[in-house]
Structure 1
Amino acid sequence: MYGLRTESEFDAAHFLTDYHGKCENLHGHRWRVVAYLEVDELQREGTCKDMVVDFGEFKGALRALTERLDHHFLVEEGSLSPDTLACLDREGFTLFTVPFRVTAENLARWFFDCLAELGLPVSQVDVYETPANCAIYRR
């Protein structure tokens, strides 16, 4: 088995809906995303011969995803009232709305799925909310 690993970071705010504790309030993280690729055999031909994939392609794909979220307010679809959304928009806040509760676990799955859709042989994604705490999604 052969593998690659890369990571990227982004800053974003979120809150947890239907949660009773500190995380129900708006707060932010310096999120760290670590992604792993895995293949049984290396490529046999072309410019990527004897590679899993080109590191540049892998790093670029992950960085493009983290850039989409960087300095955004991550919001679960339907968790804020239309009035609140309109107010945030008027005030110039940049929201990134997702169809799931904004947990590290769900973000790990989101990153995994996005990388897989790009055709990368992703095997695992770790999403760190803090330097010591991460959620893992693997196939």
Structure 2
Amino acid sequence: MYGLKTEWHFDSAHFLADYHGKCENLHGHRWRVVAYLRTDALGAAGTERDMVMDFGAFKRAVREECDALDHTFLVEEGTLAPATVAALEAEGFSLTVLPFRTTAENLARHICGRLRDRGLPCAQVDVYETPLNCATYLAD
């Protein structure tokens, strides 16, 4: 088994609906994302011969997925009143409405899925919401 690992980060705000504690309030994180690729065989020909994949392409894909979430307000679909969403958008705020609760666990799953959709053999994504607290998603 062969693997690659790279990481990037993004800054965003979120809140957790139906949570009883500090995280029910709007707050932000510098999210650290560590992505892992796994494959049984290395490339057989061309520029990626004897590689899992080109590191540059891997890093670019992870950065693009993180950049799509950078400096935006991550909102779980249906947790804010439509008038609130409209008011925030009218003020020029960047919102990313997601169909899941914006936990580190779900963000790890989301990013792994996005990388897999790009054809990368993503096996695991770790998302740190603080330097010491990390959630992991392991793909099947």
Specify the TM-score bucket, using the shorter chain as the normaliser.
over 0.9
**Residue of structure 2 in register with 1:130 after alignment:** 130
Instruction: Supply the distance in 2 between the matched residues of 1:85 and 1:121 (Cα, whole angstroms).
Output: 36
**Count of residues in correspondence between the two structures:** 139
Residue segments in structure 1 that go unaligned for 5+ positions in a row: none
**Residue of structure 1 in register with 2:8 after alignment:** 8
Q: Is 1:20 aligned with 2:23?
A: no
Q: Is 1:93 aligned with 2:98?
A: no
Q: Aligned-pair distance for 1:90?
A: 1.4
**Residue of structure 1 in register with 2:47 after alignment:** 47
C-alpha distance after superposition, 1:23-58 (max 9, x if no partner): 000000000000000111111111100000011110
Q: Aligned-pair distance for 1:91?
A: 1.3
Q: Aligned-pair distance for 1:102?
A: 0.3
Instruction: Supply the distance in 2 between the matched residues of 1:49 and 1:131 (Cα, whole angstroms).
Output: 36
Instruction: Supply the distance in 2 between the matched residues of 1:97 and 1:89 (Cα, whole angstroms).
Output: 12
TM-score (norm 1): 0.99
1:58-137 to 2 correspondence within 5 Å? Answer: 58-137=58-137
Instruction: Supply the distance in 2 between the matched residues of 1:73 and 1:42 (Cα, whole angstroms).
Output: 39
**Residue of structure 2 in register with 1:36 after alignment:** 36
The ranges of structure 1 where at least 4 consecutive aligned residues each deviate by more than 4 angstroms after the TM superposition are none
Q: Aligned-pair distance for 1:86?
A: 1.1
Q: Aligned-pair distance for 1:129?
A: 0.1
Instruction: Supply the distance in 1 between the matched residues of 2:49 and 2:86 (Cα, whole angstroms).
Output: 51
| Identity between Structure 1 and Structure 2 (%) | 65
Instruction: Supply the distance in 1 between the matched residues of 2:116 and 2:102 (Cα, whole angstroms).
Output: 20
TM-score (norm 2): 0.98
CA RMSD of aligned residues (A): 0.5
SS of match in other structure, 1:127: strand
Residue segments in structure 2 that go unaligned for 5+ positions in a row: none
